[in-house]
Chains A and B, each alone.
Chain A
Amino acid sequence: MNLYSRLVVVIDHLIWVILAVVFLFFVTQSEYFLTERNISNILSAAAVLGVLVVGQAFVLISGNFDLSTESTLGMSALLGIWLIVPAASPHFGGGIGVNSYVSIAAILLMGAAVGYFIGSLITLGSMNNFIVTLAVLLVIRGLMLAFTEGSAVNGYNLPEADVFYWLGHEKAFTIPGVVKVSYAVVATGLVFFAGHIILNYHRFGRELYAIGGNRNAAVASGINADRRIRQVYVLSGMLAALAGWMLAGRVVSIQVNLGEGFIFTVFAGAVIGGVSLHGGRGTMLGALGGVLLLSTIDRGLNLMQVSVFWVKVIQGLIILLAMLIDAQRVRIRALAQLTSQRESPFKA
């Protein structure tokens, strides 16, 4: 290991160092930061974001983009509650009145269907992933508006939805004085873990890395890249639906613009966590770091009573900083390769 190779290792894990520094900074800035309530809030915010980031990371690793997930998230929250609202309910003209389980299945299926639709357009229709997902984002947003005519879907006082709310609402366990962990947080943890296993030890993940790294080579090696890309969008859509389900349990009253603009935070989380926009690179551990960093900063600034406008500015600057680090990473990695070529005899 030479100097540059060591630097690569440091930079690859830089996110955790930054997270620690940021965390300590907020601890010194606000006495409320280290409270049970605040830590729980950070984790809850990280849960929804985390699930979306996992989906986006998979899509990015395959060398694609998915801008539509924020709308799928909003749609699934809205649809999920509306399906449960009884037909003759005063809420928003009445819903369907199905039970929670059917509703959960329906929204996950909806997410999968959206993903499959996008994946098919991209692979079978040879369309650009950016444009396709942008268009789908607009379509779903439009559908939400048309469907509700702009009014919120209100799920208060809806005992039928208890099961539906369980994921986002109920606490799984409490460590008194430290943190209350909701089922959403546990679920997100599981999603990250499963993502890690799939990316590293499952054929699907390994093929995604190859497709993102060099799609033509992957195809020439006998990988069905088109099918994998459809699958990755299905996964992304389902995870967005899962995130919507979590969020519904937390906010209960679903505004039609739920999740609007969230996609930028999702991308920021993935990129800060080291997932490459060029495809083929990225880990779940890094993405987790990115998610925790963003939610920590979000809550921390909130506690410091920084205005929301400045929060946006700071988020933007953080993204720029992440890109800067990423660019250096590429440079240093190239240097590391160059030097390791020279010093070792294996480069015969």
Chain B
Amino acid sequence: MAVRGKAAVSPPPNRSPIIVQKARHMESSAVDPVVKMHGIVKTYPGVRALDDVHLDVGAGEVQGLVGKNGAGKSTLINILNGLTQPDSGSIRIRGVEYSGLTAARARSAGIAHVAQHVKYVPGLSIAENISLGDLPERRGWVDWRTLFETADEKLRKFGLDLDVRRPMEATSVAERQMIEIARALFADASVIILDEPTAPLPKREVERLFSFVSKQKELGASFIYISHFLEEIFEIADRATVLRNGRVVGMSDVSDLTQKDLVHLISGTSVQRFSRQTGELGDVVLKTRNLSRDNAYSDVSLEVRAGEVVGLTGLEGSGPGALARGLFGLEELGDGEVSISGKPYVSGSPVKAIAQGMANLPRDRHGLGIVAIRTVKDNISLSILGRLENRFGILDGKKEKSLVREYIDSLSIVTPSMDVEIANLSGGNQQKCVVARFAATSPKVLILDEPTQGVDIAAKAEILRIVDDLSKRGVAVCIVSDEINEMIDICDRIVIFHRGRITREFIKSEEEITPKQLIAAIEGVDMEAQNEPL
């Protein structure tokens, strides 16, 4: 890897591209990078989306690309994909200069883009999906044997052992990503762009994907890796390029960076890690007894007090997510008893749940959270329209506006006005709007399902602050999350699920909770027993 720059981290307020000079230095290097974007400028009316941006990826290298939403990552990637034309700058792919890179030319130059959710044809087999548009034929009919054999061969070549006859929808999200990567590699891709691949993946799948990517890297494949999860950058990337407001503000070997440096570079300010002081605990609000649902959870008995924040975690499919959806009525609840403040709770639908004082921030912000084409105001007031209507159903516009204003202020939602479409906001601010929507219902119990998923670091800390604030006002809060560090920061108690059952409980006031302990408990490993021989 001849194209490694030495650590050069510019202090954020200083906009002079020191690092970029280092990068230029590398031009003289004997080995050309596989992809080299140089001095890329892209201006939209009134804004400079990219300003003299450089990016290069060496053979057998994973180049991390990080930055907040709107920093210019997507524009840069779109330019490399040939979807957007830069105003100036040069793009070299395998030593060939491309000007006027179109999508078709980018593809033939070997630029492969693997999206978070790979597009596929559900009804068809893995093999058919791999060879789509190029099915082997014999006398006008599909040559099934050749189809399956070549598909199998292709996957095996890249160390993927999957039954290619299986329908594509039976594969996991990570498997589909790996199939897509293998397909790109087989088509002799120069560089593979992985665009936030892990956001929808459970922990275990992330590991599978990473070991797959590492293996391909060792065999000489090049990747551009985009992610909001900074831990992942350290785990998978060799170098990282940091964009902020359309400029490269840092480029460095990750081994020369600390997470703090990276956060600093991305945000331009230092972000305080959130830490919560447990407040006064009130009476038990949410109480479940022996809740069970087939293939989801069994025998769950939980108590959550007013003012308490309880974390529910476990491996994917171990129960907490299903429990959250069941309690809120998005899915069936199953057998067992639930009460809220002593009153028996009737489940069935979100309408009923909200009426009984339960709210649930759903996991999938785009699918279940925001209504992208409606305004910030409409998104925030969505769950409380019933409280704003008069006898004839006409809404009290004044009251609505002042209420929305209040939430925009108190949750520091950054938006030019409450009348813009919510799609205009950053992920973090969209998420805050959804939090505001549910906070506005004055819930007794608030369940948050992966509240910080897909939002940038600054917004993550802010969302935790909001959760803390709500709990201090006497809301009983449950957080379902895989983010172990965040859970330790925010939760008073962490309840571990394994195969649908509660197997362990950590109480912050009684013991120091470490990530290691939590991971062991989540994986179902007995810590005590394992510690012995050490």
Q: Which of B101-109, B390-398, B475-483 contacts A (4 or more CB under 8 A)?
A: B390-398
Shortest Cβ distance from A211 into B: residue: B371
Shortest Cβ distance from B392 into A: residue: A202
A276 to chain B, nearest CB (A): 9
Chain B residues contacting A338 (CB-CB under 8 Å) are: 44
- Are A348 and B367 in contact, CB atoms less than 8 angstroms apart? no
Q: Is B349 part of the binding interface, using a Cβ–Cβ cutoff of 8 Å?
A: yes
Please, how many angstroms separate the alpha-carbon atoms of A38 and B423 in the complex? 46
Shortest Cβ distance from B50 into A: residue: A342
Chain B residues contacting A218 (CB-CB under 8 Å) are: 371, 382
- Are A210 and B378 in contact, CB atoms less than 8 angstroms apart? yes
Chain A residues contacting B360 (CB-CB under 8 Å) are: 220
> Contact string, B397-440, partner A, CB cutoff 8 A, digits 1/0?
10000000000000000111000110111101100000001000
Chain A residues contacting B354 (CB-CB under 8 Å) are: 222
Shortest Cβ distance from B84 into A: residue: A338
Please, how many angstroms separate the alpha-carbon atoms of A6 and B235 in the complex? 45
- Are B370 and A207 in contact, CB atoms less than 8 angstroms apart? no
Chain B residues contacting A341 (CB-CB under 8 Å) are: 70, 424
Please, how many angstroms separate the alpha-carbon atoms of A222 and B360 in the complex? 10
A204 to chain B, nearest CB (A): 6
Question: Which A196-239 residues sit within 8 Å CB-CB of chain B?
Answer: 197, 201-204, 206-207, 209-210, 213-214, 216-224
Chain B residues contacting A221 (CB-CB under 8 Å) are: 350, 382-383, 437
Chain A residues contacting B164 (CB-CB under 8 Å) are: none
Chain A residues contacting B46 (CB-CB under 8 Å) are: 2-3, 339, 343
Q: Is B351 part of the binding interface, using a Cβ–Cβ cutoff of 8 Å?
A: yes
A342 in contact with B385 given A217-B371, A224-B351 (CB within 8 Å): no
Q: Is A4 part of the binding interface, using a Cβ–Cβ cutoff of 8 Å?
A: yes
- Are B367 and A217 in contact, CB atoms less than 8 angstroms apart? yes
Please, how many angstroms separate the alpha-carbon atoms of A203 and B383 in the complex? 11
- Are A339 and B353 in contact, CB atoms less than 8 angstroms apart? no
A202 in contact with B394 given A220-B360, A224-B349 (CB within 8 Å): yes
Please, how many angstroms separate the alpha-carbon atoms of A201 and B399 in the complex? 12
- Are A346 and B416 in contact, CB atoms less than 8 angstroms apart? yes
Chain B residues contacting A219 (CB-CB under 8 Å) are: 330, 349-350
- Are B368 and A220 in contact, CB atoms less than 8 angstroms apart? yes
Please, how many angstroms separate the alpha-carbon atoms of A223 and B459 in the complex? 28
Partner of A217 from the list B68, B368, B428 (CB cut-off 8 Å) is: B368
Please, how many angstroms separate the alpha-carbon atoms of A344 and B437 in the complex? 24
Partner of A207 from the list B45, B330, B385 (CB cut-off 8 Å) is: B385
Q: Is B386 part of the binding interface, using a Cβ–Cβ cutoff of 8 Å?
A: yes
Shortest Cβ distance from B438 into A: residue: A221
Shortest Cβ distance from A207 into B: residue: B385
- Are A202 and B395 in contact, CB atoms less than 8 angstroms apart? yes
Partner of A223 from the list B48, B362, B382, B393 (CB cut-off 8 Å) is: B382
Chain B residues contacting A204 (CB-CB under 8 Å) are: 393
A310 to chain B, nearest CB (A): 37
Q: Is B374 part of the binding interface, using a Cβ–Cβ cutoff of 8 Å?
A: yes
- Are B374 and A280 in contact, CB atoms less than 8 angstroms apart? yes
- Are A340 and B428 in contact, CB atoms less than 8 angstroms apart? no
Chain B residues contacting A197 (CB-CB under 8 Å) are: 394
Please, how many angstroms separate the alpha-carbon atoms of A224 and B385 in the complex? 12
- Are B353 and A214 in contact, CB atoms less than 8 angstroms apart? no
Chain B residues contacting A337 (CB-CB under 8 Å) are: 421, 423-424
- Are B372 and A214 in contact, CB atoms less than 8 angstroms apart? yes
Chain A residues contacting B383 (CB-CB under 8 Å) are: 221-223
Q: Is B90 part of the binding interface, using a Cβ–Cβ cutoff of 8 Å?
A: no
Please, how many angstroms separate the alpha-carbon atoms of A342 and B385 in the complex? 33
Main secondary structure of the interface of B (DSSP, over half): mixed
Please, how many angstroms separate the alpha-carbon atoms of A218 and B371 in the complex? 8
B207 to chain A, nearest CB (A): 30
Please, how many angstroms separate the alpha-carbon atoms of A2 and B416 in the complex? 14
Chain A residues contacting B458 (CB-CB under 8 Å) are: 348
Chain B residues contacting A207 (CB-CB under 8 Å) are: 385
B60 to chain A, nearest CB (A): 34
Chain B residues contacting A281 (CB-CB under 8 Å) are: 373
A10 to chain B, nearest CB (A): 15
Chain A residues contacting B280 (CB-CB under 8 Å) are: none
Q: Is B517 part of the binding interface, using a Cβ–Cβ cutoff of 8 Å?
A: no
Please, how many angstroms separate the alpha-carbon atoms of A280 and B422 in the complex? 14
Chain B residues contacting A223 (CB-CB under 8 Å) are: 350-351, 382-383
- Are B45 and A213 in contact, CB atoms less than 8 angstroms apart? no
Chain A residues contacting B392 (CB-CB under 8 Å) are: 202
- Are A201 and B395 in contact, CB atoms less than 8 angstroms apart? yes
Partner of A339 from the list B45, B351, B397 (CB cut-off 8 Å) is: B45
Please, how many angstroms separate the alpha-carbon atoms of A335 and B370 in the complex? 20
Q: Is B441 part of the binding interface, using a Cβ–Cβ cutoff of 8 Å?
A: yes
Partner of A210 from the list B382, B395, B423, B428 (CB cut-off 8 Å) is: B382
Please, how many angstroms separate the alpha-carbon atoms of A346 and B433 in the complex? 14
Shortest Cβ distance from A339 into B: residue: B44
- Are B437 and A347 in contact, CB atoms less than 8 angstroms apart? no
Chain A residues contacting B394 (CB-CB under 8 Å) are: 197, 201-202
**Residue from A2, A201, A280, A345 having most chain B Cβ neighbours under 10 A:** A201
- Are B441 and A348 in contact, CB atoms less than 8 angstroms apart? no
Chain A residues contacting B426 (CB-CB under 8 Å) are: 347-348
- Are A348 and B414 in contact, CB atoms less than 8 angstroms apart? yes
Shortest Cβ distance from A226 into B: residue: B349
> Contact string, A264-287, partner B, CB cutoff 8 A, digits 1/0?
000000000000000011000000
- Are A213 and B374 in contact, CB atoms less than 8 angstroms apart? yes
> Contact string, A1-24, partner B, CB cutoff 8 A, digits 1/0?
011100000000000000000000
B250 to chain A, nearest CB (A): 19
B432 to chain A, nearest CB (A): 11
Please, how many angstroms separate the alpha-carbon atoms of A343 and B397 in the complex? 30
A227 to chain B, nearest CB (A): 9
Shortest Cβ distance from B397 into A: residue: A201
Please, how many angstroms separate the alpha-carbon atoms of A324 and B378 in the complex? 29
Chain A residues contacting B389 (CB-CB under 8 Å) are: 202-203
B348 to chain A, nearest CB (A): 11
Please, how many angstroms separate the alpha-carbon atoms of A25 and B360 in the complex? 57
Please, how many angstroms separate the alpha-carbon atoms of A206 and B415 in the complex? 21
Please, how many angstroms separate the alpha-carbon atoms of A221 and B383 in the complex? 5
A342 in contact with B246 given A203-B385, A224-B351, A347-B424 (CB within 8 Å): yes
- Are A222 and B70 in contact, CB atoms less than 8 angstroms apart? no
Please, how many angstroms separate the alpha-carbon atoms of A338 and B458 in the complex? 21
Chain B residues contacting A213 (CB-CB under 8 Å) are: 371-374
Question: Which B120-152 residues sit within 8 Å CB-CB of chain A?
Answer: none
Q: Is B59 part of the binding interface, using a Cβ–Cβ cutoff of 8 Å?
A: no
Please, how many angstroms separate the alpha-carbon atoms of A338 and B74 in the complex? 11
Shortest Cβ distance from A3 into B: residue: B45
Partner of A342 from the list B49, B330, B425 (CB cut-off 8 Å) is: B49
Please, how many angstroms separate the alpha-carbon atoms of A26 and B397 in the complex? 43
Please, how many angstroms separate the alpha-carbon atoms of A201 and B392 in the complex? 11
- Are A222 and B351 in contact, CB atoms less than 8 angstroms apart? yes
Shortest Cβ distance from A1 into B: residue: B46
B contact set with A: CB distance below 8 Å = 44-49, 68-70, 246, 328, 330, 349-351, 353-355, 360, 362, 367-374, 378, 382-383, 385-386, 388-389, 392-395, 397, 414-416, 420-421, 423-426, 428-429, 437, 441, 458-459
**5 additional A-B residue pairs with CB within 8 Å, beyond A203-B389, A210-B382, A281-B373:** A206-B385, A214-B372, A223-B383, A335-B44, A342-B246
Q: List 10 A-B contacts (CB under 8 A).
A: A203-B395, A217-B368, A217-B371, A220-B368, A221-B383, A222-B441, A281-B373, A338-B44, A340-B424, A347-B429
Closest 6 CB pairs of A and B: A342-B47, A213-B371, A222-B354, A343-B47, A347-B70, A339-B44
A contact set with B: CB distance below 8 Å = 2-4, 197, 201-204, 206-207, 209-210, 213-214, 216-224, 280-281, 335, 337-348
